[in-house]
Amino acid sequence: MKKSIFSKIFSLNIVTIIVGVLFLSVVQYIMMSQFVYREKVGDLKKNAQTIAGFIETGTAPEQLQSFLYGFSHSTGAGILIVDHKGDILLASAPEGIYDKNARRIDPEYTKDVFKNRENIEKGTLGGVYSSEMFTLQVPIVSASKNAVLGAIFISTAAPEMTRMQSHLGRIILFSLLLVILVSFGLSFALSRRLSRPIKNIVSTAKKFAQGDFSSRVDIGKHTGRIIEIDELTHTFNDMAESLEQSDSIRNNFISDVSHELRTPMTTIGGFVDGILDDTIPPERQRDYLVIVKEEITRLSSLLTSFLNITRLQADSRAFEPTVFDVNETIRRTLVGFESRIEEKEIRVNISLEKEVCQVKADMNSIRQVMTNLLENAIKFTENHGEIRISVGTRQQEAVISVYNTGCGIAEDEQKLIFERFYKADKSRSLNRTGTGIGLYIVKDILNRHGKDITVSSREGKFAEFTFSLDLAKN
C-alpha cells in the first residue's frame, strides 16, 4: 500500500518516539522503584539502629516497651525484639496487624539473621502479622563475646510499598502521555515542514513532464532553513533553469535548421528546374551548378553536425590514449587553415614553452578540439586581426590556449556557448554557417579526458579558450 511522504515521516517519527519514551519510562520506573526501595530500607535500618542503641545502653524493659509503643504507633511500623532462640521478648505494632498470642517466630524466618546477617523478609513471618509486611531483620550482637544475642524485626506494611510504587507509576504514566502528546504535535509540524517542499518539487516536476520548464520551486517558503532541503531546492531550480535554456536552444536550433534546410533546398530545386526546362541558358548553367554545389556542401555540413551529435549522445566514440607531441598536432592542424588565414590576412603567433611537449590523450580527438577552436577563432577574427596559440606546463599538465581578437563574447553568453546547439552572435553574419555544436564537442571530448575548458573574453576586444592535458610520464 503506497503512502505519502508526510504519512511515512510522521508515522516513523511517532513509532520512534513511542518506543523510545516507553523504553525510557520503563528504565526510569525501575530505577525510581529501586531508589524508593533503598530509601525505605535505609529508614528502617536507622530506626533499628536507634532501638539497638537503647538496648545497648541498658534501658529498662518498661521504658523500652513504652518507647516501642510510641515509635510504632507514630510511624505505623511493627517492632519485634526476639532472643537468640526466636522467642518474642517485646512487641509493639498498630492495632489489628499483630497477633498478640504469638510467642515465638519460626526458625525458618530467623536462620539468616542469627548468622549475623541483616535480612529482609516479605510476608507474615509465619502468622505473626495478619497481613503481608516488609520486614528488616537486624541482629543484636554482644560486643564482648561477638555472639548474636537476638534480633530486631522492624516491619512496614507491604501495601504501603505497593502504593508508593503505584503512585510512582501513575506519575511516570502521566509524564509518558504528556510527552507523547507533545511529540505528536511536534512530529506533525516537522513532517509537514519536510514533506511540503518535496511535494512542491514533485508538483513542479509534473509541470516539467508536461513541457512547462518555466516553473520554479519557491525557495525559503517551506524549507524551514533545513540545509539538505535548501540544497535540493536550489539544485532543482538550477536543473529547471538548465532545462529551460536547453529547451530554448533546441527550439531555436530547430527553427534555424528548418530555415537552413529550406533555403538551400529551395535554391537547388529552383536552379535544377531552370536547367531542366531550359529557362537558364546553356552558357549560364555552369555558374548555377557551382551555386548548387555550394548549397549541397552546406547541407552536407549540417548533416555531419547531426551525426556528430548522435555519436556523442550514443557515446560510441572510444578514446585510445597515446603519447604524442601536442605541439606537432597543433602545427599540423594550423596548416589546414592556411588558405583561410591568408584570405583574411590574420597574424598568427605561436608560443611554445618547449620544442616538444609530450602528452597522454587520444590524439584524434585532441586534433578535433584544436580544429574546432581554430575554426571558431578564424571565423570571429576580423580582417588583419590576430590569433595567438600558446602551450605551457603547470605541474603535471600541459596548458593550451587559443586567443583571437575580434567581436568577443558577451558576459551573459559565456556560460552558454558550450551548450549543444547554442549559437552566439546570432544577429551577425559571422555565424551564419555555424550549427552551434563545435564548442559542445570540444567540451565533451575534454570532459571524457577528465579535463575542462574555460573562456575569458571581453566583448568587442578578444576571446581566449584554455584547456589542459596530462603530461606523459618519463
Number of H helices, E strands in the chain: 9, 12
Give the list of residues 6+ apart from residue 127 with CB closer than 8 angstroms, or none. 99, 102
pTM score over 0.75: no
Q: Convert 254-285 to b/e letters by CB count within 10 Å (16 or more is b).
A: eebbeebeeebeebbeebeeebeeeebeeeee
Cell of 163: 502504593
Q: Which residues of the chain have pLDDT under 50?
A: 316, 426-432
| Closest C-alpha to 411, from 460, 347, 350, 351 | 460
- Tell the residue number behind the cell numbers 503506497, with chain if given: 2
pLDDT in tens, 79-128: 888 888 888 888 888 777 888 888 888 888 888 888 888 888 888 888 88
β-pairing, 386-394 vs 397-405, is antiparallel
Residue type, 236: F
Q: How far apart are CA 445 and CA 440, in angstroms?
A: 9
The pLDDT assigned to 430 comes to: 46
**3-class secondary-structure state, position 292:** helix
Helix (H, G, I), strand (E, B) or coil at 131: coil
Among 140, 158, 156, which Cα is nearest to 148's?
140
pLDDT tens, 421-452? 666 654 444 444 555 678 888 998 899 899 99
3-state secondary structure 380-405: HCCCCCEEEEEEEEECCEEEEEEEEE
C-alpha cell at 47: 530506626
* Position 403, amino acid: Y
- In single-letter form, the type of residue at position 392 comes to G
Q: How far apart are the C-alpha atoms of 159 and 165, rounded to whole Å?
A: 10
Q: Is 201 left (phi over 0), alpha (psi -120 to 50) or beta?
A: alpha
Whether the CB-CB separation of 120 and 133 falls below 8 Å is answered with no
Q: What is the spatial order of strands in the sheet that 453-458 belongs to?
A: 347-352, 386-394, 397-405, 462-470, 453-458
3-state secondary structure of 147: coil
Residue keyed to cell 573562456: 455
Residue 425's pLDDT is: 52
Strands 347-352 vs 386-394: parallel, antiparallel or unpaired: parallel
d(CA 420, CA 436): 6
pLDDT computed for residue 220 by the predictor: 58
3-state secondary structure (DSSP) of residue 454: strand
